Structure 1
C-alpha cells in the first residue's frame, strides 16, 4: 500500500537518504539527490534543501525537487525572502525537527503573498516537515518536505521518523563542510595579503568581520586612526565614509557591482584613502563539496594615509618643475591629497565637475599615471 509506512519502509527510506547525504558530502554525487529521494518516497510531495542566512537575507544554496521550474525560479528570486516560516526557523539556535501542522501551521499565513501566490498553487502542498541545522552567523541548512494537507495524517509521522534517523548524517556533513570552507577562506585571504606589504591591507566579509590583516593594518588598528576594529568588526573613523564603506562591502561580498571602489575621508589625524576589491571564490579549491556551504564573499581593503591634517600646505611645488603642472593643477592635487573626491574638490575650488575631471585627466597625462590611487602615492611621496 502506497500510504503504509511501517518500520521497514521508514528504515529503507532513511538508509537511502543517509547514503545520498554521505555521497554528496564527499563530492561523489549531487546534493539534488537528497531532496529528490525524500520527495520520491512520499508521492505527491516536493522536497527542498536550502542554506539560508536569515540576518543577511541571503540564499546560499537551493535545491527544490519534484516542482515546476517556474515555481523554483520564483522562490529563488522572491519568495525565499518573504517566506513566513523564516521567523520560526530563525528562532532556533540548535538542530530542530518539526511538523508544520503541530508547531506552526501554514494556515497561520493564509493572508500572505507567500501562501496564496506560491504555496497554494502547488497542489495545495501546505503541510510540511522540516529539519534545521544551525550554521555560522545566522546561517541555517533546512531539509524540507511539503505535501497536501490531506496526507498530513500519514506523512507527518513517517517523515519525522526519517528526518530524525538521518539527522546525524546531515550534521556531520555540515560540520565537515564548515571545516573545509574555513580552510578555503583562509587560503583565499592569505593569497590576497601575501603581496600587499607597502600599505595597510586587510580582508573582511560583507558584515565587516575582520578575517585577516597584514602588519601595517594591525598597526593602523592599534593606533585607532583612520580605521578601528570593535568587537571583531572594522569601521572607518568618519561616519559618512563608514556608511559608504558598509554599503560597498555588502554589494561586493554578494558579487554585485558597485560604483564605490575607493573612499576618501579626513580626520583630525589626517587624510585617508580606502580602496576595496572583491576576492574571487569561484575557483576555490573546495570544488563541488562546498556547493551547499560556499565560501563567503570577502573583500580586500587597502588603506593609504595621504598625509597630515595640514596637507593643504604640503609642498607640491617641485611637481610643477618635474611634470610641468600648472598652479591650478597643483591646487587641485592638494585638495585630492586631503582625501576629497573629485566632486568635493570641484565644490571647494568653485569649478564645475566637468572642469575638475578634465583637470584630473591632464594631471594623469603629465604625471604618467592612469588611476587616482597611483597619483595619490606620487603626491604623498612628493610632499
Structure 2
C-alpha cells in the first residue's frame, strides 16, 4: 500500500517513520534508495524528526532540502504516537511541489485509518507479549486450556514439569493425567468451570497421581469474571508440586536477610522439614554447632522459634523463575 502512496506522489523516494516519543523512530517503509545517497536519507529523517516533535505548529506538511532535490513531510498524529510520511523529489519545480503538498494532504484521510489500526495492533501485541512474559516468569506451572483440554499456552515452569513425564503429559495437544480417570476428572473440572453461572465460585482442584511421589495439585480457574458478557471458552490451570524443592525459593530470601552461606544451608534444611538434629547430620556438623548457627539466624531474621523461621522463609519465597540470579539491592 505504501508503495502505491509513493507512486501517487510521484516521489523518487519515500520514507515512513512512526514515533512513539520524539527522536525515537521506527522505520515502517523506505523505498527509492537506489536514487538516493546517505545524505539524502539523513535529510529525510532529520526533517521527519523536526515535524514529529512539533506537529501542531503551522502546516502539517513541511518542506525541506536534500543535496540533490527537495523533501516534503506530512505528519499524521495518531492515538499512539505520530507517523511521518516523507517524499524525496530529485527534480521538482514550484508547481510540482504545490501539487505534492495537496496530494499528501489528500492521502492523509486514506492513510490515517490504516496507520491507526497498525498502531493499535502494535500496542495490543506489546501488551500480550508483556502478559505472556509475566506468566512465563512465574515459577508456578501455568497452562491455558480450551474446552477440550487442548493446551493453548504453557509457561516455562509447566514445560519443565511436562518434561518429567510424571503425573501430567500432553497427548494429541491435550492435557492428560497418568491415568484415564485423572484425565476425565480434569475434563470434568473444565466443564464445571465453563458451565458455572458464578465464575467466582468455580475453583475445582484435581489430584494428578504420580508413580512414586505425592500427586500434583491442579487448580482449574475461569479465564473470565462473572461480569463478563462474553465468556471465553478457555480456562487457566495452575499445577502445584507438594514435593517441590524449596531450596531454590528460600535461598534468595536468605540473601535478603543477610544470612551467611552456612546459615543459608541450615535454613534450607529446616524449611525442607528437617529437625535441627537431622539438619546437622545432613550438613556434617555437630548439633551444638547447628544450634549456635540457628541463634544467629534468629537474630538476623528477628524470629524466636524454628517454626516462626520456616514460616517467614516460605512467606518470603521469591516465586519467579531464575531466582538463582536474583540480586538484593
Give the alignment's TM-score, normalised by structure 2: 0.40
Higher relative contact order (CA 8 A, sep 6+): 1
Give the alignment's TM-score, normalised by structure 1: 0.36
